Structure 1
Amino acid sequence: MSEPKRLHPISTVVNALKQLKDLIIPFLVFVVFGSKNGGFQLIFPAVIVVIVLIGGILSWLRYTYRLEEGELRIEYGIFVRKRRYIPFERIQSLDLSEGILQRPFGLVRVKVETAGSSKGEAEAVLTAIPKEEANLIQQTIFSAKNEANHTHTEENVEKSRDETLYKISTNELFLLASTSGGAGVVLSAVAAFVSQFEEIIPYDKVFNRFESFIASGVILISILVFIGFLIAWAIALVRTMVKYAGFTVNKAGEDLIITRGLLEKRQLTIPLHRIQAVRVSENLIRQPLGYCTVFLESAGGSALDAESSKVMILPIVKKNRVSEILSPYLTDYHFEPGITPAPIRALKRYLLRGLLWSLPVAAIPVIFFRPWGYLALLLVVISAIVSYFNFKDAGWNLDHHQLTLRFRTINKNTIFMKRSRIQSLSIKESHFQRKKELATIHAKVMSGSGGTGGKVVDLEKEDVYELYKWYSYTK
C-alpha cells in the first residue's frame, strides 16, 4: 500500500457535521440575539454552512494516507502542506468504529493511538475508509510489530486471533441494560431539554392548572409518574442494549480486542502491556445478585475520550467467574485475594462522617416544615446504613507484587494494582485518626491523560505503614 489514498467522500460530510456541531451554540445565539433583520439572520448562517462544506471538500482533496517503509504516512492541509509519519512500533492501538454515516457504505472510522497521544486527542484519525482497507492496515501493523519482536510465529498469531475471552449472552445483555440505572440519565436529559423553552412555554399557568388537577386526582398522578419512570427505564434499556449488543472480547497476539454495538459498531484494541490496573465494580442492584462489571485501566487514551483509558472488558458477569475468565490472560494478577477489613474501632468514625452531613440537612425540614418534615429523618437512617456498608466493604490485601484495595463510594469497588504500575502511594493521618491508631492509604496508577486508583479510609495504622514500606522498596 505505497500509493497515496484518499478517504471516502462521505468524510467531507462527517467532518462538516462535526464543525457545525461545534458552531451550534454561536448559531443559536446569533439567531436569537442578533440583528432584527430576519433575512440577514438566515443568510449569514447559510453562508457559514456553505463555507464549512467547501472547506470540508478541500480538506478531503488534500488529505492522503499510505503505508510505506514501516510507517503510516499522512499528508494534509489546504494551504500549508503537513506531513505526519507514524512508525508502526509507536502505534499502540487501532480503534475501529462504524457510525451511522459510515455503515451504509461499508466504511469504518480508524483512530490511531500511540504512546504519546494522551494529551487530548488521537495521533491520527482516518474518518472513513473501507473495512477491507482498515483490516489490511491492522494486519500489516500487527504482523510488522510481531515480526520485530519475534514473539509469535505465524501459526501462533493465527491461533491467538481465535481466542475468545467473553461474549455477552442475550440474558446478560438484558440484565446489564435493566440494572444500568440509565433511567435517571434519560429523565435528567428530558428536564434539561424542556428547561430551554422557559420563555416560550407558560410554565406558571401549566403548573397552576396541574396543581388543581393533582388535588382532584392523586391516584391518577401517581400512576402517571410511575408510567413516566417506566418509559424512561424502557428508553434507557433499549439504549444500553443497542450500545452493547454483540459485546465480545478476543485476544489477538498481545492485544485484547473488544467489539460491540448494533447501530454504531465499535472495535477497541487494548495492548496487554498498557494495562495499569483492573477494577471490579458492583452497583447496588447487581451486588445482591452476585454480578459485577470489570474495567481495565489503560495507559494512553485521552481526556476527550475517557472510554479508551477506562475500558469496560466484562460488562456484566458473575463475580465468582472473574478469575476464571481473566486469569489465563492476565497471568500477573490474583483475582481472589483474602481481604483484610478495617478494624472494628473504625466503625464509629464511618458513622460519624455520615451523620455530619445528614443531620444538618435533615434538621432544616424538621424545623420549618413540620409535621411532614419529620420524614427527613429517614435520611439520617439511610446515611447510617450507607456508612455501615462503607465500613464493611473497606479493606486491603498484599500478595507479593500486587496491592488490592477495596472501598465503596456508591458502588463497591475492588482495584488490583501491580507495584510496578503504581505511580504514587500516599498515607495520611489526621489528629483524630492518630488517637485511634488509624490511617488512610491512597494509591494511584496512570490512566488516560491523568490517573486513577483507590483510597481506603481508617485502616489499621500498622498495616498502612507496612504497605508504604512495601511500595518504597525498602526492607
Structure 2
Amino acid sequence: MAEESKTVYQLTMKEILAASITSGRFGLVFSGLLLIYPEFNQFLPEWLINKVEAYVMDNGVYELIVMAAILMAVSWVVSTAGYALKYANFKIERNGNEVRIVQGLFDKKEFVLKLHRIQAITVKEGILREPFGYCSVEVEVIQSIEAAGHEVMLHPFMKKKDVQQLLTYLQLPYETEEEIVHLPKAALRRYVIIGWITSAVLALPIVGASIYFKQNVALFTLIPLFIIFTLLAYARYKSGGYMIRDNQLVMVYRGLAKYTGIMRRRHVQAVGYNQSYFQKKDELCTAVVSVAGHRYEVKHMRKEDELRIYNWYKEKGNTTV
C-alpha cells in the first residue's frame, strides 16, 4: 500500500523574505552590472563620459563610496526579489519512494526525485546565514531525473540543526556530523598566504584608480581589505576537514560560504588527490572526491588522511550499503 503524501516543510512568507535577503546573490547582480558596463560604455556619448570622470576627480572618495553603496543596494533589491519569486510557495512532500518539490510564484516548477537517485547531500551555509544558524540543502542526483543538471535544491532555507530531521523524514540514509577531523596547523600558513595574495591582486585596481583619479584617501580601503582576507583565510582553515563513519563520508570546506558534503561509499565515483611542490614538503595534499559529477575538495589535508579516505573507498566492492 502506497504511503500517503506527507508535507515535510513549507516556507512561510517571513522565511522566504529572510531567505531572499540572506541569499548573498546580490554580489552576482552587482558583478553583472559591472561586466555589462564596458559593453554599454561604448554607446555613451564622449561628453557624458568626460563629465563623469570630471565629477569623480572633483569630488572626494566619500561620494564614490556612496555611489557604490547605492549600486549594491539596487543589486540587493533585485536579487532579493528574484529569489523570493523563485522560491515562493515552496513545499516539499514525500510520497512512497519519491520526493516532490514545488516552488515558484509566476513560473511554478515541480521536481519529482526518486529516493534511490539521490547520490549525496550538500549543506551550504552562506556568510549571511551561518551566524544565525541557517543553511540551504542541495542534493546531488544522477542525470535521468526530471531536473536540469545534477544539483537540485532540496530546501532553500532552514535551521542547520533541523537538517537531520529533514533527512530522517525523507528516509534518506545520511547523517549529519558535528565532529570532524580538522586540518593540520601547517595548512593555516598556506591559507593565509593565499589570502594575502588574493588581497594584493584586488588591491591593484584600487591603487590604480586612486592614482588616476588623484584620490589617495581610497588607499585606506586596503587595510580592511587585508584584514578581511586574513580572517577569511583563518575561517577556511578552521572549517576544513572530513569524517568517516562506517559507509558514510563527510567533507567540509569553505570558499566564502561553508559547504558540507555527505555521501555514501557506494555512490562515490572516484577518489584522488592533487599535491603541489610546496604541499609535498609538509606532507599535505588536496583531497578530491567525485559523486554524480560533483567534486568535493578539501585543500591542505594531511596526506595520511587522504590515504585513509582512499582506503575507505577501496572497500566499496565489499559493501552494498
Report the TM-score, using the length of structure 2 for normalisation: 0.85
Judged with a 3 Å threshold, the aligned counterparts in structure 2 of structure 1 residues 230 and 255 are, in CA distance, closer, same or farther, namely: same
Q: Work out whether 1:472 is the aligned partner of 2:318.
A: no
Aligned counterparts, 1:32-181, within 5 A: 153=1, 156-157=2-3, 159=4, 161=5, 163-181=6-24
User: Structure 1, residues 102-141: CA drift from partner, whole Å, max 9, x if none?
Assistant: xxxxxxxxxxxxxxxxxxxxxxxxxxxxxxxxxxxxxxxx
Question: AA paired with 2:228?
Answer: I
1:351 Cα offset (Å): 1.6
Using the TM superposition, name which of 236-245 and 390-399 deviates more. Answer: 236-245
Q: Work out whether 1:352 is the aligned partner of 2:193.
A: yes
- Contact preservation (8 Å) 1:291, 1:318: yes
Structure-1 separation of matches of 2:126 and 2:118: 23
Alignment counterpart, residue 272 of structure 1, candidates 86, 106, 115: 115
Provide the residue aligned with 1:402 in structure 2: 248
Judged with a 3 Å threshold, the aligned counterparts in structure 2 of structure 1 residues 184 and 462 are, in CA distance, closer, same or farther, namely: closer
1:164 Cα offset (Å): 1.2
Provide the residue aligned with 1:294 in structure 2: 137
Judged with a 3 Å threshold, the aligned counterparts in structure 2 of structure 1 residues 461 and 267 are, in CA distance, closer, same or farther, namely: same
Structure-1 separation of matches of 2:253 and 2:224: 24
Fraction of identical pairs, as percent? 29
Provide the residue aligned with 2:237 in structure 1: 391
**Count of aligned residue pairs for this structure pair:** 310
Structure-2 separation of matches of 1:182 and 1:430: 33
Judged with a 3 Å threshold, the aligned counterparts in structure 2 of structure 1 residues 315 and 358 are, in CA distance, closer, same or farther, namely: same
Q: Secondary structure at the match of 2:259?
A: strand
Q: Work out whether 1:426 is the aligned partner of 2:262.
A: no
Provide the residue aligned with 2:101 in structure 1: 258
Q: Secondary structure at the match of 1:472?
A: helix
Alignment counterpart, residue 182 of structure 1, candidates 14, 17, 25: 25
Q: Secondary structure at the match of 2:269?
A: strand
User: Structure 1, residues 264-323: CA drift from partner, whole Å, max 9, x if none?
Assistant: 111111111110100000111111111001000010159x933xx201111010100100
- Contact preservation (8 Å) 1:355, 1:380: yes
Question: AA paired with 1:207?
Answer: I
Judged with a 3 Å threshold, the aligned counterparts in structure 2 of structure 1 residues 380 and 199 are, in CA distance, closer, same or farther, namely: closer
Judged with a 3 Å threshold, the aligned counterparts in structure 2 of structure 1 residues 313 and 213 are, in CA distance, closer, same or farther, namely: same
Q: Runs of 5+ in structure 2 lacking a partner?
A: none
Judged with a 3 Å threshold, the aligned counterparts in structure 2 of structure 1 residues 428 and 239 are, in CA distance, closer, same or farther, namely: closer
Provide the residue aligned with 1:48 in structure 2: none
Report the TM-score, using the length of structure 1 for normalisation: 0.59
Structure-1 separation of matches of 2:51 and 2:29: 26
Structure-2 separation of matches of 1:355 and 1:219: 26
- Contact preservation (8 Å) 1:244, 1:260: yes
Q: Secondary structure at the match of 2:174?
A: coil
Structure-2 separation of matches of 1:192 and 1:359: 21
User: Structure 1, residues 169-196: CA drift from partner, whole Å, max 9, x if none?
Assistant: 1111001111123333444455556655
Q: Secondary structure at the match of 2:315?
A: coil
- Contact preservation (8 Å) 2:272, 2:287: yes
Structure-2 separation of matches of 1:195 and 1:364: 16
Larger Rg: 1 or 2?
A: 1
Structure-2 separation of matches of 1:359 and 1:385: 15
**Cα RMSD between the aligned structures?**
3.0
Question: AA paired with 2:153?
Answer: M
User: Structure 1, residues 123-161: CA drift from partner, whole Å, max 9, x if none?
Assistant: xxxxxxxxxxxxxxxxxxxxxxxxxxxxxx2xx34x1x2
Q: Work out whether 1:463 is the aligned partner of 2:301.
A: no
Structure-1 separation of matches of 2:171 and 2:287: 25
Structure-2 separation of matches of 1:181 and 1:325: 24
User: Structure 1, residues 236-283: CA drift from partner, whole Å, max 9, x if none?
Assistant: 222211111110010112111100111111111111111010000011
Alignment counterpart, residue 210 of structure 1, candidates 52, 65, 87: 52
* Structure with the larger RCO, 1 or 2 (CA within 8 Å, 6+ apart): 2
1:208 Cα offset (Å): 2.5
